[in-house]
Structure 1
Amino acid sequence: MTTLPDRPRTALLVIDVQKGVVDGSHNRDEMIANINTLIDKARAEDVPVVWVQHSGADLVRGSESWNYVPELVRRDAEPLIHKTYLDSFEETDLESVLAGHRVGRLVVTGAQTDACIRSTLHGALVRGYDATLVADAHTTEDLTAFGAPPPEQVVAHTNLYWQWQKAPGRRGGTMDTVEVSFSAEQAD
């Protein structure tokens, strides 16, 4: 349903599943296992897998905490987007990579739910993409000390409100890993 012309394909986005982001996060191991399932499914269906990696004061490029978790392995041919803002589109080449693959629908996974995941979902919808959040393949750290709800509530709330997101000619939505299909039929 995307508003982007001639963009019939879907891509899997794997956002910031870096050691310094997800170590100690809510449901870390289950989330990573679900992302691996989605990566395998995407690769089997010749769907682009696009990796996003954040850098900043707490995630210095090249540091151990900046690296992706060892359970997830990127292939050399799969695009890697380096970012410094929460929204994966801001000042990156994500849009040109997606355009090159004729992608109009995104399946979004990763971390952190209340920062980069939300920002990227909204950024995608505003830019004309359909954006599906995989409900059991994103996580966040415990920020209750700063007044945030517990991580499981952040994840649940994000899943709740994103399932009904839509805008003219595009939509959000959520589904669990087992429900994800990269076929055009499900996207319609």
Structure 2
Amino acid sequence: MSLDVFSAHRNDPQVRLDAKRAAFIVVDMINEFCKPGGKMVLPGYEGLVGPQTALIDAARKAGAPVIWVHDAHRPGMRHEREWAKRTPHGLENTWAVEIIEDLGARADEIHVTKRRYSAFFQTDLDLTLKDMQIDQLVVFGVVTNICVRSTVHDAFFNGYEVIVPADACAATGPREQESSLYDIATHFGVVSDVQSVVAALNQGTAITNMIAA
């Protein structure tokens, strides 16, 4: 995709991942959004399992933390903000908010519960990352144009270097996927792919932005 005149005014340094500085953030790969019986299922989640598993395996082998983000909401709220715009979903302490079994999430890994689109908004994610001396984030999951994008925005605002592997994310449609990745690449981080991220972690190769200047 060619850049618009405004977005073309950018800096694009190459990124080198350091397992001691990096965390892998898996956003909302929960039953509610992926599995039959969920209230807001995104078709085709199966296509994400292979790419995401490759990232998760590489992170674990390198010693980089994997952080699982759960969209979970409390019943009985008078004005649940997400439900003001979206079908009521993701009741806490139910099957709906559990990470899909396909990805093999571990209980001894970090799990973050959020009640808004961003994994940073009024959660302890930022504090946790700072205590771990993490300043690089690989962010992926569903959906690109809502919760992934919101998390990426807040990560950038909080000073993190952000990498988004495009083939490990899915949006609500092709238009939304393309537009969100374009905006992330030109304003908030680096858009790459799973193969490049795994190579960067294992071999020290640089990650470059896939969205051409």
Same fold flag (TM > 0.5): yes
Quote how far apart the aligned CAs of 1:100 are.
2.0
After superposition, what is the alpha-carbon deviation per residue over 1:101-130, rounded to whole angstroms, capped at 9, x for unaligned?
211010001111121111100000011111
Equivalent residue for 1:90? 121
Whole-Å Cα distance in 2 between the matches of residues 157 and 124 of structure 1?
19
Confirm whether residue 81 of structure 1 aligns to residue 81 of structure 2: no
Larger Rg: 2
Whole-Å Cα distance in 2 between the matches of residues 153 and 51 of structure 1?
27
Whole-Å Cα distance in 1 between the matches of residues 106 and 31 of structure 2?
18
Instruction: Look up the SS of the partner of 2:165 in the other structure.
Output: strand
Question: What is the correspondence of 1:169-184 to structure 2 with a 5 Å cutoff?
Answer: 172-180=189-197, 181-182=200-201
Whole-Å Cα distance in 1 between the matches of residues 139 and 54 of structure 2?
13
Larger relative strand fraction: 1
Question: 2:187 is matched with which residue: 135, 146, 165?
Answer: 165
Moved more, 120-129 or 20-29: 20-29
Equivalent residue for 1:4? none
Structure 1: 5+ residue stretches without partners? 2-7, 142-150, 167-171
Answer whether contact 1:20 1:66 (CA < 8 A) is retained. yes
Quote how far apart the aligned CAs of 1:175 are.
0.6
Answer whether contact 2:32 2:97 (CA < 8 A) is retained. yes
Confirm whether residue 156 of structure 1 aligns to residue 181 of structure 2: no
Confirm whether residue 60 of structure 1 aligns to residue 91 of structure 2: yes
Whole-Å Cα distance in 2 between the matches of residues 132 and 26 of structure 1?
24
Q: TM-score, normalised by structure 2?
A: 0.72
Confirm whether residue 71 of structure 1 aligns to residue 90 of structure 2: no
Quote how far apart the aligned CAs of 1:187 are.
6.8
Instruction: Look up the SS of the partner of 2:169 in the other structure.
Output: strand
After superposition, what is the alpha-carbon deviation per residue over 1:6-57, rounded to whole angstroms, capped at 9, x for unaligned?
xx60110001000111344244112121111100000010011111101124
Whole-Å Cα distance in 1 between the matches of residues 43 and 180 of structure 2?
14
Identity %: 24
Quote how far apart the aligned CAs of 1:59 are.
0.4
Question: What is the correspondence of 1:31-50 to structure 2 with a 5 Å cutoff?
Answer: 31-50=48-67
Confirm whether residue 102 of structure 1 aligns to residue 162 of structure 2: no
Equivalent residue for 1:144? none
Structure 2: 5+ residue stretches without partners? 1-12, 14-19, 36-40, 74-87, 209-213
Deviation >4 Å, runs of 4+? none
Confirm whether residue 130 of structure 1 aligns to residue 161 of structure 2: yes
What is the aligned-residue RMSD (CA, Å)? 2.2
Equivalent residue for 1:16? 28
